Structure 1
Amino acid sequence: MSPDRGPRRARVVIVEPALSQLEKLTASETHRLDRAIVAISVNPDLGTPVPDTLLRDYTDDIDAVRVVYYVTALRTLTIVAYVEA
């Protein structure tokens, strides 16, 4: 019997503008942001839709991070376009 693995996570890809932003973050900020990205990969519906776009905007007030992303049609890939910590 296989173990219960929980929900399947989407693969996360970070595009160039967000990669540039990541390079400027401290280790603490990167750690907080990582938790938000993991949460999004498990549940891509966490963010709120950005009107008239395919983008979603997720803000975690506890960790003080923001991620703007979109999810592919099959929900197997999450593309991170913007990060803020």
Structure 2
Amino acid sequence: MSPDHAARRARVVLVEPALTQLAKLTAGETHRLDRAIVAISVNPELGAPVPDTLLRDYSDEVDGVRVIYYMTALRTITIVAYVEA
């Protein structure tokens, strides 16, 4: 990769339970959650591995959000299973 190009962000997909949770959030909570999801899409290693699963658990104590997700084998898609703000 040339130094002129930034790392490619993963595409983010929310599954039904996460979409249902998202629908219940306020605009401010959604904005805080968006920042966390962008951070994860840029660096999927941010979250801590959940033992004995493919899931990762990312918590941002400053913004008060939590995202549980996993990424595809090629790390091009991040699938969000749970959100909390």
- The question of a shared fold, defined as TM-score above 0.5 by the shorter chain, is answered with yes
Question: TM tier, shorter chain?
Answer: over 0.9
Q: How does 1:1-85 map to 2 (within 5 A)?
A: 4-85=4-85
Residue deviations 1:24-82, cap 9 Å, x none? 00000000000000000000000000000000000000000000000110000000000
- Gapped regions of structure 2 (runs ≥ 5): none
Give the Cα separation in 2 of the matches to 1:4 and 1:68: 32
Identity of aligned residues (%): 81
Paired residue type of 1:69: Y
Give the Cα separation in 1 of the matches to 2:60 and 2:71: 18
Count of residues paired in the alignment: 84
Segments ≥4 residues shifted beyond 3 Å? none
- Gapped regions of structure 1 (runs ≥ 5): none
Q: TM-score, normalised by structure 1?
A: 0.95
